[in-house]
């Protein structure tokens, strides 16, 4: 439980916004996320939550500051190394599921494993195990269009977990769902996190859901603070 899976140190990020000039969205953001922690990130729309998650997940670069994943500093690493860390150690979940429409639920979860060198039988078995763990195993053979919104998002969670990452980053993962479905889907996500012992940073507007996590951080004026 002492292992620091994600560490952000002095993260700065500024965007140019045309005539009005620059907007600094992150001002020295600091974060330590330890193994097994489930942490909520709350802030109004436009406050920089997605930017912070993209930097944490190596999808974007900070203007300054350092990102460490599982003890490895990412500053100055090659694109190939950053891609490898992102593939092996980080799982992403977004507000929209982004499942591939031509593939079944099981295939959507098996594909990242196959791309990572897994054998098909092992990938399918892992996909089925994950689907069963979130209660949609019976929907394994259905394509995304045949699934409900809640089922689609649970499949998306499973896909993010397919390669057994150390870190899960989720950006408003229940934002498109009605309250009842949101509660059920969030419960499935928490179950996955607790059973696997990975770390999760989850951006959400839902303070009731945020209160169920281990702790809550608020992004306020570009600075991360305990909420």
* Strand pairing class (22-34; 4-16): antiparallel
The full length of the chain comes to 227
- Residue 224 pLDDT level (bands cut at 50, 70, 90): confident
Per residue in 130-148, pLDDT (tens digit) is 999 888 899 999 999 999 9
Q: How far is CA 203 from CA 86, 88, 126, 208, in A?
A: 19, 22, 27, 13
- Classify residue 60 by its DSSP letter: S
What share of the chain has pLDDT > 90, as a percent? 47
CA dist., res. 95 & res. 58, Å (int) = 19
Whether the CB-CB separation of 154 and 134 falls below 8 Å is answered with: yes
Per residue in 68-92, pLDDT (tens digit) is 999 899 988 999 999 999 988 999 8
Side-chain half-sphere exposure of 49, counting CA atoms within 13 A = 22
Per residue in 158-187, pLDDT (tens digit) is 999 898 899 999 988 877 777 777 787 788
CA dist., res. 81 & res. 75, Å (int) = 11
Cβ burial, residue 36 (10 Å; 0-12/13-18/19+): middle
pTM: 0.86
């Amino acid at each position: 439980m002492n292992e620091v899976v994600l560490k952000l140190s002095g993260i700065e990020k500024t965007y140019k916004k045309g005539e009005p000039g620059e907007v600094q969205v992150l001002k020295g953001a600091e974060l330590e996320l330890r193994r097994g922690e489930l942490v909520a990130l709350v802030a109004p729309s436009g406050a920089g939550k997605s930017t912070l998650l993209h930097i944490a997940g190596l999808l974007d670069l900070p203007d300054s500051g350092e990102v460490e994943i599982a003890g490895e500093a990412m500053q100055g690493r090659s694109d190939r190394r950053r891609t490898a860390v992102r593939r092996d150690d980080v799982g992403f979940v977004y507000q929209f599921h982004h499942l591939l429409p031509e593939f079944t639920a099981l295939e959507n979860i098996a594909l990242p494993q196959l791309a990572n060198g897994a054998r098909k039988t092992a990938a399918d078995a892992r996909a089925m195990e994950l689907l069963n763990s979130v209660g949609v195993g019976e929907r394994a053979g259905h394509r995304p269009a045949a699934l409900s919104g809640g089922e689609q998002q649970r499949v998306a969670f499973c896909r993010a977990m397919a390669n057994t990452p150390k870190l899960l980053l989720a950006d408003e993962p229940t934002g498109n769902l009605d309250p009842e479905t949101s509660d059920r889907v969030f419960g499935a996500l928490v179950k996955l996190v607790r059973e696997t012992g990975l770390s999760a940073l989850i951006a959400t507007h839902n303070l009731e859901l945020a209160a169920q996590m281990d702790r809550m951080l608020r992004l306020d004026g570009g600075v991360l603070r305990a909420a």
